[in-house]
Amino acid sequence: MSHDSSNSPRSKRLQLISDYGCTRSSKCRKPCSRSAETVSTRREAEPVRADVQGTQHLSGPGRAGLTGGPAAGRAAARAGAMAKLLSCVLGPRLYKIYRERDSERAPSSVPGTPTSVTNPHSSSWDTYYQPRALEKHADSILALASVFWSISYYSSPFAFFYLYRKGYLSLSKVVPFSHYAGTLLLLLAGVACLRGIGRWTNPQYRQFITILEATHRNHSAENKRQLANYNFDFRSWPVDFHWEEPSSRKESRGGPSRRGVALLRPEPLHRGTADTFLNRVKKLPCQITSYLVAHTLGRRMLYPGSVYLLQKALMPVLLQGQARLVEECHGRRAKLLACDGNEIDTMFVDRRGTAEPQGQKLVICCEGNAGFYEVGCVSTPLEAGYSVLGWNHPGFAGSTGVPFPQNEANAMDVVVQFAIHRLGFQPEDIILYAWSIGGFTATWAAMSYPDISAVILDASFDDLVPLALKVMPDSWRGLVTRTVRQHLNLNNAEQLCRYQGPVLLIRRTRDEIITTTVPEDIMSNRGNDLLLKFLQHRYPRVMAEEGLRVVRQWLEASSQLEEASIYSRWEVEEDWCLSVLRSYQAEHGPEFPWSVGEDMSADGRRQLALFLAQKHLNNFEATHCTPLPAQNFQMPWHL
């Protein structure tokens, strides 16, 4: 009979010495500092490796002794697999895996990253994310349920009224309905679990969720770089910049509180009226009505881009626009946390490393009421060669919240702070470019950050009230005016007049949105009123009766030929106008308003008024939504 030497006492002791470094007998019960130290050292030295399924196990000769045997290892593997499955069930939806640029490819630092992810020749990772059949069908069911829920939400007042009239809101009929609703919720929860299983079987999604979890644990540059290769539900994106970061408030004047940044408040409608308790009670019904109108119909009419159904319909276009910015323009996405708790979705394209000098300037783009940075006005300064920072309004795409004026200003504040303190641009190198309703946030930033280089307002307006009255019945005039002033007060002209730097206005000659009559009536364009209020504030003596009249005539011109005709009729001498303005600036300083033109003839004031109007406004023969060509994106005039 053969004798197995591996079971002899001597061989067992030698194995014990090899594993734990102890030379004593296995029956010894005395504490051994050397063996404890050796075991501890070995435990620390043994590598920990996380596989794609998220399980962790120890490697080395003493693995079985340290983990309690194969059973404990299997239990740990099952626990890790269940944790990964739960992460897949609760994880965000993955839309696309971007094509990595060769210069950015590097070995992964996240444990468990398969080599196929970083392999430059892996073509399967250069396309849209391809979900498995189970995940795809479950996603479709949940998306359909989300659309039905959104429709039910918007139609709920009418549905409740109908059910009440039909007598369906009685207890005997509500209880069965609640049972049906509970069953439906359980079914949807089961569909969500099936979707999670489908994700769990997909190595691409498992790799993504591993990187996402690692980034939430450790906000290292390498983890963020790897996470930037994925486009997924932005709610799960980690915050990149916080409004309370110490370095972000060093140069701010006062800084915002959690209640929000400072806004210009409208003056009371009836001055001199005593604000007694009785008057407050009388105003209460009107105030409640205004609040309800603003937070239901008004906000959605003013910012249709915040409506979920519209965003759902535009989702393919937005994903395509994001892919273009990331893959072709090397854009970097970031989440900013504003002082009101809203998360702002931003995209930064850095051109400072190019040979073009305008790349040293940053253009912060403010979109319109249905505009997104993915497909909005950011394309104009990008084509012109500038560095660009785009952001979405609160409630638009990846940004959270609702787009009320206070939330808009809070979002713009954290965007400017991000540009200065994280991206490294000085205020003197920042240009504000706004289209349409984006003029509100641009003029607020110009008022709040006076050192900003320039402001360009495209197809913007002076005040919201005339445009709101245009689309509402005349009988609602009082309610509309009160609602706008109290809750939706977009006072662009008032804010712009607080800014001292260069300004350029771009007027669309066939604008159908910010005209109060018809697009052909160019004098009803509210961009005219914005220019007149701006010039009257800066040059009140020049824009007196004669100057105001001749500028109105110039604004009525419907073509460049008519503009030139009016300009030449009054024989405007540009050299003379420049010399007058420069001599006044040298004597009195650059601070507006100026009293230039006080001792000037009527003819001289007309010339100065036309010269200043022509320098501050450019016409663009197009409708409201036509993209502005790069050649029309010009820096504002300044002395």
pLDDT average, residue stretch 386-391: 98
Residue 67: its pLDDT value, please? Answer: 47
Helix (H, G, I), strand (E, B) or coil at 510: coil
**pLDDT of 75 over the 70 cut:** yes
- Give DSSP secondary structure letters for 434-468: EEGGGHHHHHHHHHH-TT--EEEEES--S-HHHHH
Over residues 353-377, the mean pLDDT reads 95
Q: What percent of the chain has pLDDT over 70?
A: 81
CA 615 to chain centre: 33
Q: Does residue 246 surpass a pLDDT of 90?
A: no
On the CB side of 458, how many CA atoms lie within 13 Å of its CA?
28
d(CA 213, CA 171): 46
Q: Is the CB of residue 298 less than 8 Å from the CB of residue 487?
A: yes
Q: What is the pLDDT of residues 287-342, one digit of tens each?
A: 999 999 999 999 999 999 999 999 999 999 999 999 999 999 999 999 999 999 99
pLDDT beyond 90 at 47: no
Catalytic (active-site) positions: 436, 511, 588
Band (pLDDT 50/70/90 cuts) for residue 31 is very low
pLDDT value of residue 273: 54
* Rounded average pLDDT over 194-216: 95
- What tokens appear for 19 in the block? 């594993």
Better pLDDT: 125 or 372: 372
Q: pLDDT value at position 51?
A: 40
Chain centroid to Cα 478, Å, comes to 34
Question: For residue 130, what pLDDT is reported?
Answer: 87
- C-alpha closest to that of 537 among 572, 507, 500: 500
Helix axes 133-166, 171-200, angle to 10 degrees: 170
Span 599-606, average pLDDT: 93
- The model's confidence at residue 127, banded by pLDDT at 50, 70 and 90, is low
Question: 30-39, 282-291, 393-402: which has the minimum mean pLDDT?
Answer: 30-39
Between 261 and 123, residue with greater pLDDT: 261
Q: Is the model's pLDDT at 195 over the cut of 70?
A: yes
For the segment 577-601, the average pLDDT, to the nearest whole number, is: 95
**Chain centroid to CA 29:** 65
pLDDT band at 36; cut points 50, 70, 90: very low
- Render 518-533 in DSSP notation, one character per residue: -TT-GGGBHHHHHHHH
| pLDDT band at residue 527 using 50, 70 and 90 as cut-offs | very high
Angle, vertex CA 410, rays to CA 405 and CA 412, nearest 5: 95
Instruction: Choose the weakest-confidence range: 114-128, 241-255, 377-391.
Output: 114-128
CA-wise closest residue to 52 among 104, 132, 116: 116
The residue ranking higher by pLDDT, 480 or 159, is 480
Q: What percent of the chain has pLDDT over 90?
A: 67
Q: Please compute Rg for the chain using Cα positions.
A: 33
Strand partners, 391: 346
